[in-house]
Structure 1
Amino acid sequence: MEDIAGPDRVLIVDDHSLVRDGLRSIFDDAFPDCEILEADCLESALAALDSSGEVDLVLLDFNIPDVSRLSGLEQLRDRFPATPVVMVSGVTERNVVRDALAAGAAGFVPKSLKRSQIIEALELVLSGEIYMPELPGDDSAAAEEDLIRARIASLTPQQRVVLSHLVAGRLNKQIAYELDVSMTTVKAHVSAILQKMNVFSRTQAVIMVGKIDFTG
């Protein structure tokens, strides 16, 4: 994948030092200028984010001592909604993957993937898309489309209208003029859309919606 801006800083959260070392080596090779932060539990991860400031990406192990299932992801998304979180796990059951993505993970990376595949997955997330692994017997494209439709279905009618304007490439002031509402109202709708669709930018929302036949 070409022209992908590498991350400036990432946080790796895993209670096994060997796994952290392996992921660190991947970043050292693929993104040599990236600063790597590490944490062995959710508590230390939250502390690192609070003290170190913004990171471009969090890699979160599915099974760490102080979380239950997706509680770690949910806390990170709640406290740092603009930060993409990629789940990394040896667990690859379909329901786990889909639940994680539905809860707002920017991707789900099985630890069994080859090094080159992990890099491709990270590049995909950094480009603004969601990475969903191919699972045996699963139509991953259809599963992703179902996920996108479910997120869009959670929008109010007015939010769907605003989303259609975003897809058309209109700026907030243009949307406000078209809908005869204030800029403050448009901004509130856009924020709600990003939150409900579990994305981090207008661009990512547009990329996501572009994968289905969205008519507003």
Structure 2
Amino acid sequence: MPDALQIIVADDHPLFRDAIVLALQASLPGCRTLEASSFSTLEAMVREQDTLDLVLLDLSMPGANGFSSLVFLRGERPEVPVVVISSNDHPRTIRRAQQFGAAGFVPKSSPVAVIREAVQAVMDGGAWFPAQKAERSEEDAQLAARLAQLTPQQFRVLMCMADGLLNKQIAHELGLAENTVKVHVTAILRKLECHSRTQAAVLVKALQAEGGDDAATLPE
């Protein structure tokens, strides 16, 4: 008998998570769902789970910086498809989600049937995005390619750099030796083609999504 599908539902609104879990259980009977309400919780789950089949991701969880959680997932578990479910359905946000590696994008205002359709398409090895998308951005493509060169640990260090932490503070935050952090910072600046920590922080700001903040919208 095949193992049950393991799916993470990452969203900071409990009612929305409940609605998504019910939709998943109806369309994928027997699947095992794990719930994350923050980026730190998601990060821990991804590390702990040997087998993971899908992540449904809200972009605006506490601890996340725009598309940073998506970029982290693609770096940490590139074999696991990610479907972004967001109330920020600006055309450029949808296109950027695709360029940063999402397998699908579903607006939170979508009815349950659409969410199920998107999940099934992705689980079948395909992709699912709304019909109307912004044009491809070469700038975003270059940013995605640079970020893809970072190891998961380097990406964590980069997020700390973007928060203005010094090497000593980053070492304490991540449980690393300060010299190790220095080595990571040097590698990060080289891979991102940046001459300073400030330039690297500006690149992280470029991960911000278009439009306003996400808000919980329950599927119909």
Q: Which bracket does the TM-score occupy, shorter chain normalised? A: 0.5 to 0.7
Is the aligned partner of 1:94 residue 2:64?
A: no
TM-fit CA distance, 1:52 = 2.4
> How far apart in 2 are the matches of 1:72 and 1:35?
22
Q: Once the two structures are aligned, what percentage of the paired residues are identical?
A: 33
Q: Does 1:121 align with 2:124?
A: no
Flag as ranges the 4+ runs of structure 1 deviating above 4 A: none
Q: Measure the CA separation in 2 of the matches of 1:50 and 1:21.
A: 23
Query: How far has the Cα of 1:133 moved from its partner?
Result: 1.1
CA deviations over 1:141-198 (Å, ceiling 9, x no partner)? x96xx69xx98xx99xxxxxxxxxxxxxxxxxxxxxxxxxxxxxxxxxxxxxxxxxxx
> Counterparts in 2 of 1:4-153, with a 5 A limit?
8-134=5-131, 138=132
Which structure carries more relative contact order (alpha carbon 8 Å, separation 6+)? 2
Distance 1:101 1:55, change over 3 A: same
Provide closer, same or farther for how the CA distance between residues 7 and 113 of structure 1 changes in structure 2, counting only shifts above 3 A.
Answer: farther
Q: Contact conserved, 1:7 with 1:126, CA < 8 A, in 2? A: no
Distance in 1 (CA, whole Å) between partners of 2:55 and 2:61 is 14
Judge conservation of contact 1:13–1:58 (CA < 8 Å) in 2: yes
Residue by residue, what CA displacement relative to the aligned partner does 1:21-64 show, whole Å, maximum 9, x if unpaired? 01000011111210011111111111112112221000010111
Partners of 2:128 and 2:4 lie apart in 1 by 16
Return the alpha-carbon distance in structure 1 between the equivalents of residues 120 and 67 of structure 2.
23
| 1:191-202 aligned within 5 A | none
Tell me how far apart the structure 1 counterparts of residues 122 and 50 of structure 2 sit (CA, whole Å). 20
Contact kept, 8 Å, 1:74 with 1:103, in 2: the verdict is yes
What SS does structure 1 have at the residue aligned with 2:85?
strand
Q: Is contact 1:61-1:88 (8 Å) kept?
A: yes
User: Structure 1: where are the runs of 5+ without partners?
Assistant: 156-216
Q: TM-score scaled to structure 1, two decimals?
A: 0.59
Question: What is the letter of the counterpart of residue 50 of structure 1?
Answer: R
Structure 1 residues 96 and 7: CA distance shift in structure 2, 3 A: farther
Q: Determine the C-alpha separation between the residues in 1 that align with 2:36 and 2:80.
A: 16
- Distance in 2 between residues matched to 1:44 and 1:72, nearest whole Å: 11
Give the count of matched residue pairs: 140
**Counterpart Cα distance in 1 of 2:68 and 2:46:** 17
| Offset from partner CA, 1:103-147 (integer Å, 9 cap, x none) | 00010111111111110111111111111113xxx3x5x96xx69
**What secondary structure does 2:52 align onto?**
coil
